[in-house]
Structure 1
Amino acid sequence: MKIAVIPARGGSKRIPRKNIRPFCGKPIIAYSIDAARQSGLFDEIVVSTDDEEIASLARQHGAATPFMRPKQISDDFTGTNAVVKHAISWFIERGSEISHACCIYATAPLIQDRFIREAHDRLIGSDAAFAFSITHYAFPVQRAVRLTSEGRVDSLYPEHRVTRSQDLEPAFHDAGQFYWGTTRAFLDDVPMFSSRSIGVVLPRVLVQDIDTLEDWEQAELMFRVIRSDSRATS
């Protein structure tokens, strides 16, 4: 059995009601649910929430809410892994055999089911613990600078101050969309950012972290452009 777990607590601070805020015509969480359904990979798509309104909207859009998330893992300091572990354990305690789980963030409207499938296939065909979405940095990290206390610029990597950008090693970062893992890896708290993980590279145009209202507006602009392009070429 394979499950998708979409964490969506009700107490978001920087963007109130972030997980169900309308995004280009529907609650933002609906895009994550849709991508999970369209992937065709999951026996259960579960929204883990402590909020009745979120749970109701999740069910309306095709997800299950078989439990309400306990208060002790619903605060500002609870990590994603604890939420996934709780969901996996809930099913196991009721007799289900879970082989893999995929954590999908509720605020990932640019997510595409083809990358969820790619990560699944690469994980299944390997001995890795996890497979998750990453993307290229837009600018070589080796050219990063710091500001001194006097407001002057200083190179973080002075050895690469004059290295040609094409000669620098590409760098990537977490794309913040989905995280496939084996049940054992989640339950044993295996470190995700390690050599035991596979990175599935997404185009930068499909990646936008959403932590502020400015991020939200940027994501909506990107979404509309992507949707317009897909309609023009379909």
Structure 2
Amino acid sequence: MIGQEASVGRVLGIVPARAGSQGLPGKNTRMLAGRPMVAWTLEACRQATVLDQVVVSTDDEAVAEIAADMGFAPPFRRPDHLSGPDASVIDAIEHALTTLGGRWDYVVLLQPTSPLRLGSDIDGAVRLCHETGAPSVIGVSPVLKPQTFYGRMTPDGTFRPNVPEPDEPVVINGAVYVGRPEVLLERRGFQGEGALGWVMPPERGWDVDTAFDFMICEALWPHVRGEAAAPLDSVRR
């Protein structure tokens, strides 16, 4: 329930959902498991306990209607300069903070292209940021195969394996970003010195940018949501 957890300070959730998408047009409102994809991010916001308020930043009337129907209203209508393919998500966050006003201890960016994240991921990432004093926390997942499977192709077609490192790499999954507003706006991003990672299994951090991504997300859905006949151990080898 939004606002139930007050011990971490005031937390603002921002769902950025612009209309344009080059990889998968209309992806934010594409139907997934009976609901528009953006609705699942809003549902995760409802499940989270640390969020005091959630705003939807959009230039898409369909997204605005979905958010309003779910009780997340009124959406913040993006100006034209924040609505194109080159629009910066940090500029959208700054616009939302300026429009809303007030004091916020943490901003949580929740992209609708990560519909399999849970409310507990939002809570965990915010609490990690709060308890450690970190400037930001970024959702990450292990890469899908061990690092010994990865390499580079040279111009002549030769495969050269990467040099193994002591630790396995992770990838930013796009599912949850937490930042302290003053640090976030100064750095113009969530990455930087002191940023921590909130580790999520690859299936919960699945990011949808293409039709292929969406098909995989549909296949993962019943397993992540506990609706499959058998549990999914992991999508990672």
Would you call these one fold, judging by a TM-score over 0.5?
yes
Aligned residue type for 2:66: L
Unaligned runs of 5+ in 2: 1-9, 232-237
Q: How many residues align?
A: 222
Q: Which residue of 2 aligns with 1:186?
A: 184
Q: Which residue of 1 aligns with 2:95?
A: 86
Distance across 2 between alignment mates of 1:183 and 1:176? 18
Distance across 1 between alignment mates of 2:152 and 2:90? 33
Greater Cα offset, 121-130 or 110-119: 121-130
User: Which structure features the higher share of helix residues?
Assistant: 1
Q: TM-score, normalising length from structure 1?
A: 0.87
1:1-60 Cα distance to aligned partner (Å, 9 max, x none): 321100001111221111111111000001110111111222221110012221111111
Q: Is the 8 A contact 2:146 2:168 kept in 1?
A: yes
Q: TM-score, normalising length from structure 2?
A: 0.86
1:152 maps to 2:161:
no
- Sequence identity of aligned pairs in percent? 26
Q: Is the 8 A contact 1:81 1:189 kept in 2?
A: no
Structure with greater Cα Rg: 1
Distance across 2 between alignment mates of 1:101 and 1:231? 37
Instruction: Please list, as runs of the form range in 1=range in 2, the aligned pairs for 1:5-154 lying within 5 A after superposition.
Output: 5-92=14-101, 96-141=102-147, 143-154=149-160
Aligned residue type for 2:168: P
Distance across 2 between alignment mates of 1:190 and 1:17? 27
Aligned residue type for 1:108: S
Distance across 1 between alignment mates of 2:184 and 2:59? 21
Unaligned runs of 5+ in 1: 161-166
193, 196, 202: which one pairs with 2:194?
196
> Aligned-residue CA RMSD in angstroms?
2.1
